Chains A and B, each alone.
Chain A
Amino acid sequence: MKNALELSYLVPLFPLIGFLIIGLGRRYLSKSLTGIIGNGVILASFLVSVWIFLQVKDGNHGTIEYFNFISAGTLKVPFAFQIDALSSLFLLIITGVGFLIHVYSASYMHHESKEHFARYFSYLNLFVFFMLLLVMGGNFVILFIGWEGVGLCSYLLIGYWFKNTEYNYAARKAFVMNRIGDLAFLIAIFWIFSKVGSTSFTEVFAADGLQKLSSTDITGITLLLFVGATGKSAQIPLYTWLPDAMAGPTPVSALIHAATMVTAGIYMIARSNVLYSLSEVTSNIVAYIGLATALLAATIALKQNDIKKVLAYSTVSQLGYMFLALGVGAYTAAVFHVMTHAFFKALLFLGSGSVIHAMSGEQDIRNMGGLSKKLKLTFFTFFIGCIAIAGIPPFSGFFSKDAILLSAFEKNPVLYGIALFTALLTAFYMFRLLFVTFTGKFRGTQKQEHHLHESPALMTVPLIILAVLSIIGGFVNIPEVFTNGGEKLTEFLLPVIAKHEGHEPSDKTEYLLMGLSTGLVVLAIVFAWFKFKNYQPKEEKGFGKVLENKWYVDELYDKLIANPLNRFAGFLNNIFERYIIDGVVNGVGRAVNYGSRQLRLLQSGQVGSYVLLMVLSILLVLLYQFFIKK
């Protein structure tokens, strides 16, 4: 064997096999068998991923080409996997968190019928397959295949309960909005190929490849790639699909719409960090869009009453944070935040799933309250998730968020200020969610109260594991100020992401900033405690109503884009189609009809007139032959 890493094809192969077995055998497999296969393949993939990670850690990395995927003229796209620090880290996140969520799903979805249960797991396995393809792809084309594939699976899983029309609309919205971004991504790939002559990462990002790109090219390509990322990773202006995507089953929200798929945009930009660090303009745009998204989504999350919607906006906000990090050049911090976010956001979503499970499908936090007594374990793990996302040391969110804030501070203190404010909002709305849901008095119906119960072990064990990861996950990249050589992740990612250049702030500033953010976050939590410990639902007024209605962005999009498009389509349908297209088609028919009615007069049935016509015609031909045609 040339390279031990050639075995890495096993990683995506297992989920694909799982998808095929479960998908084709959905009528015949029992629920427990489906669960075992669905979970088993992900576990197998996780084990191989761990092995690959260890290989990469030992310095064994590279591009593995399997076969020629496309070969036409000068266009050559090999089916290649890029196994290096970045992709192996993502492999671990996807298969690791993915496995926990699969286990959780087996219990959460158990009330579904056999066939739908199998359908769920086949989609989930297919999703993992495409997601692995996305992060392992050795060139932009393979990445794009995975990119489209996860979009498809996201669509299928959002619309999993396809009998509900609203859910189908949500699925369609997600798909269409993603397509807008995907188009830009595709154009960027064409652009790269036309200039560099290859889409392979190693060739494009090498010095040779970069030489072929002018600065305009780089700005254009990076901007288009970023537009692609805004679609997949739910940034302004294409973020509105993500909150609606909560229509899918909760584990799906945890896996696809929090931990993995939505971070594909961050992965893609981190992968192309060589290009991005060459374009000042794009980097600034990325940073500002990320920051604006983080702030906007955080303000909306303040007033949402659906437990999953709060988490969805929180996800959008955290993704904004990651883009801010990418924009200021702190690629490692972004990847670090992807990792910690995957832990605590998956934990929070699964926790909310446990709550919804206990409340028999109720999602409105106004009808909850006081759940901590009945759902002790869920409450405890959810609490850990909240602390982690709020950024209290030494939980994982603190380290990753602090790394981003610090990089923002180095770049521009104004960016830092807004980001810090967003962090306060984050702490506030997360603890609002926690207090409203778990403390105070129960506000639901008697029947619901009677039904309240802690979830089974299959659901709580993943919660506990994720909670542990949320606590310790941050220690892989402890800032330099605490321990020398603590930044293990940065070190690990060095081959892919060059060290962040910039003037390091002094240790004193760094301590000060950490203290400031921690202190303010604690204040925000205390404030939330006093405001929401005895929460009573009340009508929102004024600004609160604007926030509750998500700044009316959906309505704005409807007015600005959807309605004009609908009207234009209506015009085409009613006017253009009816009078122009149909007019031409029917007009041709009518003209032929009319003409033939006139011509029919010639057919008199009189042999004499026929012969006369014949003779005249022959004469005409003769005249033409002799006198006109020379």
Chain B
Amino acid sequence: MPIDYYIYLSVSLFCIGIVGVLTRRNAIIIFMCIELMLNAVNLLLVAFSKMHHFKNAAVNASAGSDGQLFVFFIMVVAAAEVSVGLAIIVMMYRNIHSVDINFLNRLKH
């Protein structure tokens, strides 16, 4: 399968993520959209590394493996981020009884 389709897919996912982050007010949905963006990038990384591997397999048996390694790192980081983020959202709900980010304009002060 040509690489183009992977690119189209991940760009679409990424854009959906951005639009979600920009437009939605529910913190949990924004959070999910961020995850979506992360995974769009992951997908792209995997696709490119595979392509890279096919091209250079004759020369270098491990070609493209670094891309896949990065994906694992990103997943780990994303998991950590999710735990922290969810904790923040829980604290936020406990304090203001809402997960609407428009209430979170205290950064101004």
Contact = CB atoms under 8 A, between A and B. Distances in A.
Contacts of A604: 105, 108
B106 A605 contact: yes
Interface stretch (B17-25, B45-53, B56-64): B17-25
Among A607, A610, A612, max chain B CB count under 10 A is at A607
B107 A605 contact: yes
B102 A608 contact: yes
B22 A612 contact: yes
Interface in A238-284: none
Contacts of B21: 611
Q: For the complex, would chain B's binding face be called helix, strand, loop or mixed by DSSP majority?
A: helix
B86 interface: no
A605 B22 contact: no
B101 interface: yes
A612 B20 CA distance: 11
Among A608, A611, A612, A615, max chain B CB count under 10 A is at A608
A615 B18 contact: yes
A603 B108 contact: yes
A604 B25 CA distance: 16
Chain A contact patch, size range: 10 to 19
Contact of B102 (A606, A610, A611, A615): A606
A612 B101 CA distance: 14
B22 A608 contact: yes
A610 B21 CA distance: 11
Nearest to A616: B22
Interface in B90-109: 101-102, 104-109
A615 B22 contact: yes
Contacts of B102: 606, 608
Interface residues of B, number: 12
Contact of A605 (B18, B25, B109): B109
A611 B109 CA distance: 18
Nearest to A619: B18
A606 B109 CA distance: 12
A605 B107 CA distance: 5
Nearest to B24: A608
B25 A608 contact: yes
A608 B106 CA distance: 13
B104 A611 contact: no
A608 B107 CA distance: 12
B104 A607 contact: yes
Contacts of A605: 104-109
A605 B104 CA distance: 7
Contacts of B22: 608, 611-612, 615
B105 A606 contact: yes
A604 B106 CA distance: 9
A493 to B, nearest CB: 91
Interface string A600-625: 00011111101110010000000000
A603 B102 CA distance: 14
A611 B101 CA distance: 12
Contacts of B106: 605
Contacts of A606: 102, 105
Nearest to B27: A607
A603 B104 CA distance: 13
Contacts of B107: 603, 605, 607, 610
Interface in B1-57: 18, 21-22, 25
A399 B106 CA distance: 101
Contacts of A615: 18, 22
Contacts of B109: 605
A616 to B, nearest CB: 10
Contacts of B101: 607-608
Given A607-B104, A612-B22, 17 more contacts: A603-B107, A604-B105, A604-B108, A605-B104, A605-B105, A605-B108, A606-B102, A606-B105, A607-B101, A607-B105, A607-B107, A608-B25, A608-B101, A610-B107, A611-B22, A615-B18, A615-B22
Q: Which 7 A-B pairs have the closest CB atoms?
A: A605-B108, A605-B105, A605-B107, A607-B101, A612-B22, A606-B105, A611-B21
22 contacts: A603-B107, A603-B108, A604-B105, A604-B108, A605-B105, A605-B106, A605-B107, A605-B108, A606-B102, A606-B105, A607-B101, A607-B104, A607-B105, A607-B107, A608-B22, A608-B25, A608-B101, A611-B21, A611-B22, A612-B22, A615-B18, A615-B22
